[in-house]
Amino acid sequence: MEDFEFPECTTFGSVIRFALELERAAMAVYDDLAGRPDLAQAAESFKALSAAHKKRSDVLEHTRREKLNEMILEPIQDLDGSKYKIETKVPDGVDMAGAKAFSAKMEEVSGSFYLDSSEIAKFLLAEAARILERMGKESQANKAKVEAL
Site for another protein, rule CB under 8 A: 5, 7-14, 17, 64-66, 68-75, 77, 123
> Shortest distance, CB of residue 59 to another protein, whole angstroms?
16
Choice between 66 and 92, CB closer to another protein: 66
Choice between 15 and 146, CB closer to another protein: 15
* 125 CB-side CA count, 13 A: 28
Choice between 5 and 92, CB closer to another protein: 5
Evaluated on CA atoms 148, 57, 116, 134, the torsion sign reads negative
Choice between 19 and 29, CB closer to another protein: 19
Helix or strand (DSSP H, E) at 139: helix 126-147
> Shortest distance, CB of residue 138 to another protein, whole angstroms?
24
> Shortest distance, CB of residue 6 to another protein, whole angstroms?
9
Please enumerate, as own/partner, the contacts of 34-39 that have beta carbons within 8 Å and a separation of 24 or more. 36/94, 36/99, 38/93, 38/94, 38/95, 38/96, 39/94, 39/96, 39/99
> Shortest distance, CB of residue 8 to another protein, whole angstroms?
4
